[in-house]
Amino acid sequence: MNDFTHEAWGIYVALITVVSIIACAVFLKAFSTRRAAKGEEVGTTGHVWDETLTEWNNPLPRWWMWLFYITILFSLAYLVLYPGLGAYEGYYGWSSQGQYEQERTRAQAEYGPIFDKYLKQDLAAVAANPDARAIGQRLFLTYCAQCHGSDAGGGRGFPNLRDDDWLYGGDPETIKASIANGRNGVMPPRAAEVGGYEGAKDVAHYVLSLSGRTHDSLRAFRGKTKFAAACAACHGADGKGNQTIGAPNLTDNVWLYGSSEAALVETILKGRGTSMVTEGTSVMPAHRKILDESKIHLLAAYVYSLSREEKK
């Protein structure tokens, strides 16, 4: 759109708009004034369908014509009062951005004190407050449910926030940091390090063995060495992960992209979060640009409360 920023384009758009409206009025006037005299035969437009269905050249009904004139007058009045003629801002100077800012200002004046009250409280205490959780739930449904689900149960590639398994840590401040700053998890492809497809299958079966799942013991034996060389730096020698960098614990029964052999092999060969080749981008967007600290505080308290409920 950078090619259309010159002020001449505004004049161009305004002229086309005004000329089009005037042309509508002129054509309406031209084709609705003459009426056939009494006894005079009305001609046709020459259009005939289904052999006998003829379009007669009668003027428009008066009620329809005046309704059309009213819409023309309305459009002219609208263009004087509101933006629509190129760069002209209208008499009232209205804009969608301006209306949005006004609504935000009114909302902040009305609800700001409520948010600020909770911001001054400890996050764990806010999580225990039913009223605060209700507000946090509404924020969650607006900003988080698209990925994590309305029940926060997650999905393939999106973590379940109701359990006690956390990639980066589940304490209140870490949750708040994740929401505010976002996360960008990356699992690099390991095809070369593990020796291609067959090597990836060996590592996959070793990973399955760590969580006690059904596996091929011979492949797991071969995969253990490959795992130590290609995976232990992030997931640890014991496979229990590293929350500092968001490396998952591979010894539990929580799987972000699935626990089948095929899913594990795909992850090992292609990685996660490095491209759109595999499902999921492993990106948690930062919300500090769209939510102020008080809202993030309430949202973090709600998310924290979800895993507390699971423990009860």
Question: 295 and 243 in one domain?
Answer: no
CB atoms within 10 A of CB 153: 14
- What is the value of pTM for the model shown? 0.71
Please report which confidence band the pLDDT of residue 297 belongs to, taking 50, 70 and 90 as the band edges.
very high
Residue 36 placed within a domain: no
Residue 76 placed within a domain: yes
pLDDT tens-digit series, residues 121-136: 999 999 999 999 999 9
Question: 241 and 197 in one domain?
Answer: yes
Comparing 62 with 3, the larger pLDDT belongs to 62
What pLDDT is recorded for position 194? 94
Residue 223 in this model has a pLDDT that exceeds 90 = yes
Tally of structural domains, the chain = 3
Question: 207 and 173 in one domain?
Answer: no
Residue 183 placed within a domain: no
Residue 224 placed within a domain: yes
Residue 186 placed within a domain: no
Residue 37 in this model has a pLDDT that exceeds 70 = no
What pLDDT is recorded for position 301? 96
Question: 255 and 195 in one domain?
Answer: yes
What's the CATH code of the domain at 297? Answer: 1.10.760.10
Residue 184 placed within a domain: no
Mean pLDDT along residues 277-291: 76
Residue numbers of the domain that contains 155: 110-177+291-311
Strand locations in the chain (E): 44-49, 53-56, 183-184, 283-284
Question: 298 and 280 in one domain?
Answer: no
pLDDT tens-digit series, residues 128-179: 999 999 999 999 999 999 999 999 999 888 999 999 899 999 999 999 999 9
pLDDT tens-digit series, residues 80-89: 999 988 888 8
